């Protein structure tokens, strides 16, 4: 039942893009927007519907860094590690956030699926370095303390206990 509903949404996305294989990236972006990741069975479904090989779709999905085959958290925190942010100590922010979120080495997503932590090469807000981005919102001139507060505010908004 759940599976059927999933595919219904994918079909809608495929229709909106005219089942055009040339729009594969746009389609995958929409699918990921919906599920927050690209489930394997949906990739196969998309491939069949667009008359492409699964290998082709898998190749595209793994080429671009924005696509993920693993579920991501509701809030994606991107730490900018561009030149300007790097010289202004973005690595310290990364360490602080990993600790705050309790991420063990190798982990990028918190166990309750609320946060995913990533680094990106440049967010283009270098005047405000160091910068982080939470989903589509940019926070500039960050310090580990300020980053802490950003996380706390989200946790409060989501109504999950006080702090961690």
Q: Which residue's CB is nearer to another protein, number 53 or number 111?
A: 53
Q: Which residue's CB is nearer to another protein, number 48 or number 111?
A: 48
What is the distance between the alpha carbons of residues 75 and 133, in angstroms, rounded to a whole number? Answer: 10
Smallest distance, another protein to C-beta of residue 108, A? 15
Smallest distance, another protein to C-beta of residue 10, A? 16
Exactly one of 111, 121, 163, 164 binds another protein (CB under 8 A); which one?
Answer: 121
The interface region with another protein, picked from 2-10, 19-27, 38-46, 93-101 by CB under 8 A, is 19-27
* 64 burial level (CB within 10 Å; 0-12, 13-18, 19+): exposed
The interface region with another protein, picked from 1-9, 55-63, 94-102, 150-158 by CB under 8 A, is 55-63
Exactly one of 6, 9, 19, 23 binds another protein (CB under 8 A); which one?
Answer: 23
Q: Write out the two tokens for 7.
A: 């595919």
What is the distance between the alpha carbons of residues 112 and 90, in angstroms, rounded to a whole number? Answer: 26
By CB under 8 A, residue 43 contacts another protein = no
The contact set with another protein (CB under 8 A) reads 20-26, 28-29, 59-60, 63-67, 78, 81-84, 86-87, 120-129, 131, 133, 136-141
């Amino acid at each position: 039942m759940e599976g059927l509903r999933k595919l219904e949404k994918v079909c809608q996305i495929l229709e909106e893009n005219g089942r055009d294989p040339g729009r594969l990236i746009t389609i995958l972006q929409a699918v990921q927007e919906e599920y927050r990741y690209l489930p394997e069975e949906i990739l196969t479904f998309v491939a069949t519907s667009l008359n492409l090989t699964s290998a082709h779709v898998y190749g595209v999905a793994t080429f671009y860094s924005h696509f993920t085959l693993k579920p991501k958290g509701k809030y994606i925190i991107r730490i900018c590690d561009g030149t300007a942010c790097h010289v202004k100590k973005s690595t310290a922010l990364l360490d602080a956030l990993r600790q705050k979120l309790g991420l063990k080495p190798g982990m990028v997503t918190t166990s309750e699926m609320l946060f995913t932590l990533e680094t990106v090469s440049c967010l283009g807000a270098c005047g405000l370095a160091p910068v982080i981005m939470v989903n589509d919102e940019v926070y500039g001139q960050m310090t580990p303390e300020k980053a802490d507060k950003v996380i706390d505010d989200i946790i409060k908004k989501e109504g999950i206990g006080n702090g961690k």
